[in-house]
Structure 1
Amino acid sequence: MRLSVQTDYALRTLMFLAVNDGHHSIAEIARQYGISKNHLMKVAQRLAAEGFVDSLRGRSGGLKLAKPAETMNVGSIVRIMEDMGSFVECLDAETNRCVVTSACGLRHALNGAVEAFLRHLDGFTISDLIADQEAFRLLLEPS
């Protein structure tokens, strides 16, 4: 299983904001991780729309967590950011055109695997991902 770049960037952004107080620009976060500012901008908009971050425009603006990191469930974030129905065609009832779906066991097997994956992620919060905050901060280059 592979998460989309958007989900990867969303989790990294939330982790960065959890260990760094105050507002931080998209450019700063992108630079710290060596990732695309343009891609991160789209992710930040989605995180703000979903209520994970507060976004403030202007000179002293940027992003900051909208709620405590210990209340942000990783499984929930992945469910919001990922389109799990398109993992394979047969999992999406609206677009499924596979002719063997009614007799095939693949759909059941994959659906169970995806659910187990998400249940496992439900056991973690953003705070859990950055348990050693000092080590996490040290790995990012100084601002």
Structure 2
Amino acid sequence: MQLTSFSDFAFRALIYLGTLPKEELTSISRVTEVYGVSRNHMVKVINKLGHAGFVTTVRGKKGGIRLAKAPAEIGLGDVVRALEPLKLVDCGSPFCHIVPACRLKGVLEEATNAFLAALDQYTLADMLSNNPHLVTLLQQPPAR
């Protein structure tokens, strides 16, 4: 299974936000600068993460973004469920006429569930804990 760039950017944003001191705010511009990614795309990602309850946005002159929950409360599987269209095939008519005899949908659902079950074993905290090299890398400008 391959995640979309939307989820890729979301995980990058969450990892960066998770390295900040608790309650510290940062900007979307800073997140895009750290990773060298499209600001326009990151705005959409942060908006979706906010609606899903992973990120808090604070408006105003002293506003910004930060994690809405502790890293230990952000499950990787939950992030994927909130952001990815997990329906791998569209078996609806008129797309496919073999639906009554096809077993593929069940196999793909089983594979998706196994993928999510593996992700459910980890939280954002697992990605951050005992990883000082990560913090160092995030403080450096991206290579161009």
If the length of structure 1 is used for normalisation, what is the TM-score?
0.89
Aligned to 1:77: 79
Paired residue total? 139
- Identity rate, percent: 35
Q: How far apart are the structure 2 equivalents of 1:133 and 1:20?
A: 13
Conserved in 1, the CA contact under 8 Å of 2:28 and 2:65? yes
- What is the letter of the counterpart of residue 46 of structure 2? A
- Cα deviation per residue 1:78-105 (whole Å; 9 max; x = unaligned)? 01111101x2223xx5x77211122112
Q: How far apart are the structure 1 equivalents of 2:46 and 2:20?
A: 16
Q: How far apart are the structure 1 equivalents of 2:51 and 2:108?
A: 30
Per-residue deviation, 1:33:
0.8
Aligned to 2:98: 100
Conserved in 1, the CA contact under 8 Å of 2:76 and 2:119? yes
What are structure 2's unaligned runs of at least 5 residues? none
Conserved in 1, the CA contact under 8 Å of 2:77 and 2:119? yes
- Cα deviation per residue 1:113-138 (whole Å; 9 max; x = unaligned)? 11100011000001111223421111
Aligned to 2:123: 125
Aligned to 1:42: 44
Per-residue deviation, 1:23:
0.6
Q: How far apart are the structure 2 equivalents of 1:82 and 1:66?
A: 20
Aligned to 1:9: 9
Q: Secondary structure at the match of 2:66?
A: strand
Conserved in 1, the CA contact under 8 Å of 2:16 and 2:138? no
Aligned to 2:61: 59
Q: How far apart are the structure 2 equivalents of 1:16 and 1:5?
A: 16
What are structure 1's unaligned runs of at least 5 residues? none
If the length of structure 2 is used for normalisation, what is the TM-score?
0.89
RMSD: 1.7
